[in-house]
Amino acid sequence: MSFDARDLLGAVEPDELDAVLETMVLAAHADGEFGDEERALILRSLAALGQGTRHEAAMVDTRLEEMLSSLGTASPEQRQARLAGVRKRLPRLDSRRAAFGLAVQVVAADGFVRTSEREALLDLASSLELEPDEAAELVRRASRSSQ
């Protein structure tokens, strides 16, 4: 699965952009922790993705903080509902691929991919209706490079 998240933003709507951010946050929080490395990568990714686009002003960490705050109290059912909501807000396959690819990068940002994170990523791929083999390969590559 290949994607270029930067190219994605040329045509993406604000709601889709928010869904990409939420995908990254849900993946990063899959193990119940949200480390400094994950936060830094999300903020760097958002800054790079938003630079020079019509979304540049929206790339602030206040939305990130809102999402993190609500995730701390989310039940597994609420998490699944959020994944379903992300899928609805990302109607284009390219958008879903880009969101998943960024989510994988965020999960691997702390240097390792835990089993719970790997399972959460594959669940995310399924929720996003991505090809299972392609998603699994991307997760395998991230797992190898983080070891």
What pLDDT does 132 receive? Answer: 94
Number of domains in the chain: 1
pTM over 0.75, yes/no: yes
Helices (H), the chain: 5-8, 14-28, 36-50, 61-71, 76-89, 93-107, 115-127, 132-145
Residues 6 or more apart whose Cβ sits within 8 Å of residue 77: none
What 3-state class would DSSP assign to 133?
A: helix
pLDDT, averaged in runs of 10, over the chain (147 residues): 55 74 86 83 75 57 75 79 91 88 90 87 94 92 71
Radius of gyration of the chain (CA): 14
Amino acid at 129: E
Cα 37 to Cα 40, 43, 57, distances in angstroms: 5, 10, 23
Task: Assign residue 28 the CATH number of its domain.
Answer: 1.10.3680.10
Query: Residue 87 sits in which domain range?
Result: 5-145
What pLDDT does 16 receive? Answer: 79
Tokens of 124: 């995310």
Q: Can you tell me the distance from the alpha carbon of 115 to that of 35, in angstroms, rounded to the nearest whole number?
A: 17
What pLDDT does 55 receive? Answer: 57
Tokens of 20: 């990409």
What pLDDT does 1 receive? Answer: 46
